[in-house]
Structure 1
Amino acid sequence: MDWASAFSEISEKDLSRRQMLSALGGGGVVLGGAKAADNVLIGYGVLVGTNLHDQDLSAVAGERLEPSPFATTVSGHEIQLKEDEIRVHDGEGRQAIPLSASAAADADQLDTELELAGQPLGQLVSDLSAIEADDYRFEFFGYEDFFRRVRGTETRPFTIEALRGDRYQHVEPLVIESFSGASPEQPKAVLEGLVEGFRDETYYDIPRYLAGSVEDNILFGSVDLRKHFRTPTEYDAMKAGETAGMFCYEFTWRSVEALHSVPAQQQETPVVGAKVFDERHKHVYTGVASAFKEDGELVIPMTFVDYTHSTLYDDLRLRWLLGEGMEGYDKRHRATDIYWQP
């Protein structure tokens, strides 16, 4: 059978999701099921492959670790990270401090002169110079241990702002609070609240997954089947009932938006959300990191959460087999790349 011609004729019509699924037929379900089994069970180091516990995660996480431009307001002064300098604006003009370890004394002095709460300039100069020189260390934890590790440390919220950059900061905090049942100033509670929020408002888009399996493995990209299943996935669309399911990268984007909806210096535990990509399984999930100083050394602790797992396995009633909740730092996840400004 000429599958490409058949699906091309079908796709020219304005079909519903149900009609397209009917056109896909049992072959798509079988293919999608086989691909799903491969994604869930194979390639994590039991027979072949690796996983987050066995990988050199510091190398993966550090490959793209760098600051990005951002702007925030501290004690009535606008602070901007631009290229290789930090700019401080007030009503009378602008001052600039270079991002260099040699400028540490000047940064500390300006923090004092302007009475900047939290000493953001000194923090940024010190920490970003350390990152540039690879003079820091990662630590990796399960979800609960991550927050226990950070609690009580000398956290570095302005360094977290620099690792976030200006992206994914456009969702209002009240939207996140309504969806998750928690204030974004409490990131642990938000991460937990997103589990039920996603389960209540959406689901993993299995029909789109099956369509993609046929498109990639039978039609080799000659026909766009996924377009029949795409719907808006923003928070307002979910609340309005316009979202007909989400993919892994959409869960990841929404979770990063939730973490970044308030400045890091306002959070109980300042965190940055990252996109973690597993090339072997074509899977994306969320990395969560913080930063603190310990004995003069910059430490970047990190954990991982996966809302595809917490949503899909709940939908399919497979939590008894594949685990419960959003925990991602386990032997069923691996990382090819970690993107700090996803």
Structure 2
Amino acid sequence: MERRQALKYIGGGLLAVGTGRAAHNTVIGYGRITGTNLTEQDLRPLIAERLGADDYRADLGEYAISLSGDELALSASGERVETLSLSDTTPAEAAAVDAEYDLPGSPLEELVRDVETIRAGEYVVEPSGYEAFFDRLREVDTRAHSVGASRNLWTDADPEVVEEFLGSPPTDPERVVVELMTAFREYSNYDVPRYLAGAVEDNVLMSQVELREYFESPTDFGAIADGENTGLFCTELTRRSAEALQAVPAHAATEPVVAGYVRNARHKHVYTAIASLYRRDGKLVLPITFVDYTDTTMYDDFRVTRLTGEGLDAYDTGHRATEMFW
């Protein structure tokens, strides 16, 4: 089958999909009639199901720290100089090692105090819009190494490639959030033909005929910037955003963040979660926000931002979560 023939399938199939199916997938299910949304959901179980802290390494100039399982190690020139057990070491003992080696920010004490709490999901979740989220991070003493240890997905993006795509170094996550919106709009668009192909494939042809493949193109940062990409899906927008937000180590950013992938199974949609960590009155707090580059890109594609706004903030009544991946 060629792309032209696939378009014919789409044209006929869209009539069969109809407005009822479109409403089912885009409007209903956010709590207005049935269902729920992020502002109503208990987010902690969804976050804690997969947010962990393991297999972490941070270079601190002369020294490096690494975390694996119960073992926290300090190395110099590739040789271990200290090994701590998370379960057997007190925060005070870890702080003494930090002081002995003059480690900036007391990373060992921080990890000893936080890691098992993160693994147990014993933190207070503090959701907000993205502007309030970054305002909060500037007000508190964030836990950069604990945040870094929480990163798992998509942590290997080349900072120079991301910088070229954004137009500035990816060291300030709030700036990255906004610059991603601008760059996605400048270099690409939401892949409406592929979306429509998928709607027909899933809802009319019952997955008996493959249509999406005729509308696929490279989606890495370089391909997008070079014009090789013909459109992006929510999955690709979310992955690229997570890569950009985690392109530099958490302790090297202006505010440390961990990026996640939120799946809304009910509406077949994904978008980006951004979280951090700090302590308040001795308790670990996880501030979190959500952004949606599908909305920002589509609103710009259809020139409706004057009516809709930019569409970036996703902590609202128009988004819900089934699963979160970190």
Considering the TM-score relative to the shorter chain, is it more than 0.5?
Answer: yes
Match of 2:170 in 1: 184
- Contact preservation (8 Å) 2:125, 2:288: yes
Alignment partner of 1:45 out of 22, 26, 31: 31
Match of 2:295 in 1: 309
Match of 1:22 in 2: 8
Provide the C-alpha distance between the structure 1 equivalents of 2:61 and 2:113, rounded to a whole number of angstroms: 20
Matched, 1:87 2:53: no
Specify the code of the residue in structure 2 equivalent to 1:272. V
Provide the C-alpha distance between the structure 1 equivalents of 2:214 and 2:158, rounded to a whole number of angstroms: 30
Give the Å deviation of 1:97.
Answer: 1.4
Match of 2:132 in 1: 145
Matched, 1:68 2:54: yes
- Contact preservation (8 Å) 2:250, 2:256: yes
Provide the C-alpha distance between the structure 2 equivalents of 1:183 and 1:209, rounded to a whole number of angstroms: 32
Match of 2:265 in 1: 279
Give the Å deviation of 1:93.
Answer: 2.5
Give the Å deviation of 1:323.
Answer: 4.1
Match of 1:8 in 2: none
- Contact preservation (8 Å) 2:13, 2:204: no
User: Structure 1 residues 112, 337: closer, same or farther in 2, change over 3 A?
Assistant: same
Q: Percent identity of the aligned residues?
A: 44
- Contact preservation (8 Å) 2:141, 2:278: yes
Q: Which runs of 4+ in 1 moved over 6 A?
A: none
Specify the code of the residue in structure 1 equivalent to 2:91. A
Match of 1:5 in 2: none
Provide the C-alpha distance between the structure 2 equivalents of 1:47 and 1:101, rounded to a whole number of angstroms: 52
Q: SS at 1:302's partner residue?
A: strand
User: Structure 1 residues 281, 104: closer, same or farther in 2, change over 3 A?
Assistant: same
Match of 1:158 in 2: 145
- Contact preservation (8 Å) 2:17, 2:204: no
Deviations along 1:258-297, whole A, 9 cap, x unmatched?
0111011111111110001111001100000111122222
Match of 1:6 in 2: none
Provide the C-alpha distance between the structure 1 equivalents of 2:324 and 2:317, rounded to a whole number of angstroms: 17
Question: Is the deviation greater in 215-224 or in 140-149?
Answer: 215-224
Structure-2-length-normalised TM-score: 0.93
Pairing 1:255-266 to 2, within 5 Å after superposition: 255-266=241-252
Question: Is the deviation greater in 176-185 or in 287-296?
Answer: 176-185
Provide the C-alpha distance between the structure 1 equivalents of 2:294 and 2:65, rounded to a whole number of angstroms: 36
Matched, 1:126 2:113: yes
Provide the C-alpha distance between the structure 2 equivalents of 1:69 and 1:324, rounded to a whole number of angstroms: 37
- Contact preservation (8 Å) 1:32, 1:210: no
Structure-1-length-normalised TM-score: 0.89
- Contact preservation (8 Å) 2:238, 2:261: yes
- Contact preservation (8 Å) 1:187, 1:269: yes
User: Gaps spanning 5+ residues in structure 2: where?
Assistant: none
User: Gaps spanning 5+ residues in structure 1: where?
Assistant: 1-10
User: Structure 1 residues 77, 239: closer, same or farther in 2, change over 3 A?
Assistant: same
Match of 1:333 in 2: 319
Specify the code of the residue in structure 1 equivalent to 2:138. R
Provide the C-alpha distance between the structure 2 equivalents of 1:236 and 1:191, rounded to a whole number of angstroms: 18
Q: SS at 2:303's partner residue?
A: coil
User: Structure 1 residues 158, 63: closer, same or farther in 2, change over 3 A?
Assistant: same
Give the Å deviation of 1:35.
Answer: 4.3
Count of residue pairs the alignment pairs up: 325
Match of 2:83 in 1: 96
Q: SS at 1:154's partner residue?
A: coil
Question: Is the deviation greater in 101-110 or in 64-73?
Answer: 101-110
Match of 1:194 in 2: 180
